[in-house]
């Protein structure tokens, strides 16, 4: 079975990351996407970011569909997210950093998220 963990090096530090997607039926349907980033050797203290985004009726999850510059499967997007976590003083040695509104983080680092916001 193929591992879902992917590798990335940011600022000469090795990380692994995992993207989980789950469709939620309530509120006319939306995607709950969770990104977990681990420093190699520190799997219990991840950077964990939750994204709630609109369902693209023909494409599915707009965060991972591959139609825009913003796609969580692109390493340059993950790199910017990790750099933001490091700037927020994420300390993988002692504690995890949870960011409950990932869309706000994406907007903060320069992405247009207007077409992904939920209306609730």
Q: Is residue 1 part of a domain?
A: no
In terms of C-beta density within 10 A (0-12 exposed, 13-18 middle, 19 or more buried), how is residue 84 classed?
middle
pLDDT score for 120: 53
103 within 8 A of 116, measured Cβ to Cβ: yes
Total of domains in the chain: 1
From first to last of its 120 residues, the chain has per-residue pLDDT tens of: 456 899 999 999 999 999 999 999 887 788 999 999 999 999 999 999 999 998 877 678 888 886 678 999 999 999 999 999 999 999 999 999 999 999 999 999 999 888 888 875
Question: How does DSSP assign 54-93, residue by residue?
Answer: EEETTTEETTTSSSSS--TTSHHHHHHHHHHHHHTT--TT
Residue 50 is predicted with a pLDDT of 97
Domain that holds residue 51: 6-116
User: Nearest CA to 82 among 116, 109, 52?
Assistant: 109
Quote the distance between the C-alpha of residue 36 and its chain's center.
7
Count of other CB atoms within 10 angstroms of residue 60:
13
pLDDT of res. 1: 45
User: In this structure, is residue 57 part of a structural domain?
Assistant: yes
């Amino acid at each position: 079975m193929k591992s879902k963990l992917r590798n990335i090096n940011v600022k000469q530090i090795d990380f692994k990351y995992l993207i989980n997607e789950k469709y939620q039926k309530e509120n006319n349907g939306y995607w709950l996407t969770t990104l977990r980033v681990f420093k190699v050797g520190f799997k219990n203290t991840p950077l964990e970011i939750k994204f709630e985004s609109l369902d693209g009726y023909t494409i599915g999850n707009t965060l991972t569909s591959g139609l825009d510059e913003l796609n969580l499967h692109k390493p340059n997007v993950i790199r910017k997210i990790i750099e933001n976590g490091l700037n927020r003083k994420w300390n993988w040695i002692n504690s995890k950093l949870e960011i409950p509104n990932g869309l706000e983080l994406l907007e903060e680092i320069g992405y247009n998220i207007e077409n992904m916001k939920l209306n609730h």
